[in-house]
A and B are shown apart, each in its own frame.
Chain A
Amino acid sequence: MNIEDKSSYPSQEHSISCESFDTFIVDYIDDNLQDNQKRIFIHHLNECPACRVYLKNYEYRIQLSKSIFANDTDKADIPNQLVDAILAAKKQTD
C-alpha cells in the first residue's frame, strides 16, 4: 500500500498509539501484517512524524547490519592444523 494513499484509511477509532505501532514493526518489515493491521499501521505512520523518522532509521540500521557482513567471508582461509584435524577425525570414523 502506498502510504500517501489516504483513501483506505481506518476511522479515528482504529488509530493506535506509538507504543502499539512499535509492536507491529517486525511484521510490517517482513510484510507479514494482515490487511487491516497494515491499514492501521500506515494510518499511524501518516499521522505521526516521530514514528515516521523512527521507522526510517530502524530500516536504515537493518540495511546497515546486512551491509556490514555482506563481504566478510571474502578473505576466508582455513588454518592447516584445522584441515589436518578434520581429516584425522574423519579417518577415525571410517
Chain B
Amino acid sequence: MDLSKRINTDLSEDELIVQLKKGNVDSFEFIVREYGGYLLIIAKRYLTSEADAQDAVQDTYLHVFSAIVTFEGRSSLKSWLHRIVINISLMKIRSNKRRLVELIDDNASFFDANGKRIETETEITLSLEKLMADDSQREYIKTQITQLPQMAKNLLLLKDIEGYSTKEIAELLDISLPSVKTGLHRARLLLKKKIEHQLR
C-alpha cells in the first residue's frame, strides 16, 4: 500500500496536520489527492475556464504548503482549503470586475410612478423536490447561474450557495456593503428573469 493511502486510513485529521506542519511529503500528496477534485469544482463555479480553475487549485496548494504552519485548526482542513480556493479564484477575476449597475435594467421598470409594483406574479407551485429530481431542469438552472455576468455570479455564489454574510462578501470582493446588497438583489432578479419560465 502506498503511503498516501496509509495516511488516509491511519491518521486522524489532527495527526495529518502535524505531519503537514513537519513537511511530510506524502501527507501533502494525500491532501492534494483527497481534496483537489473538490477544490477544482469550487474553483470552476467562479472561473469559466478549466485552465484558470486548475491554476487556482494549484495556487491554493502552494499557499497551503507555505501557510500550513500558521493553521490553528479553528475550522476543518477542508473548510480552510475551501476558503482559500474561493479567495484565490476571486483574486483571479478581480480585474474583470463589472459595474454593478450593469447587472439588470433600471429598477424603475418594475414599479409605477407611485412606487407600486406593476406586475403581479403568480406563486410558484412546483415543489423543490420535484424540480431537483429532474436532471435536465437542474442542469439548465445551474447553467443559468454559472453564466450570469461575473459580478452577479460571484454575489449569488458567495451569499446563496456558500452562505457568507454580506459584510464578509464586501471584504472578499473589496466593494462597499450597500453595493453588495444592491448587487445581490439585482443578481437574484437577473436569475429570476432567466429561469422563471422553467418554474411554471
Q: Do A90 and B62 contact each other (CB < 8 Å), given the known contacts A22-B107, A73-B38, A82-B57?
A: yes
In the bound complex, CA of A68 to CA of B157 (Å): 11
The listed residue (A54, A72, A79) touching B117 by CB distance below 8 A is A54
Residue of B nearest to A80 (CB): B33
The listed residue (B29, B40, B45, B165) touching A69 by CB distance below 8 A is B45
Q: Do A82 and B65 contact each other (CB < 8 Å), given the known contacts A61-B191, A73-B41?
A: no
Q: Do A86 and B58 contact each other (CB < 8 Å), given the known contacts A18-B115, A78-B37?
A: yes
- Chain B contact residues, CB within 8 Å of chain A: 28-29, 32-33, 36-38, 40-42, 45, 54, 57-58, 61-62, 65-66, 107, 110-111, 114-117, 120-124, 128, 131-132, 138, 141-142, 145, 156-157, 160-161, 165-166, 181, 184-185, 188, 191-192, 195, 199
CB-defined A-B contacts under 8 Å, sample of 9: A18-B116, A30-B165, A53-B123, A54-B121, A61-B192, A69-B157, A83-B32, A85-B54, A87-B32
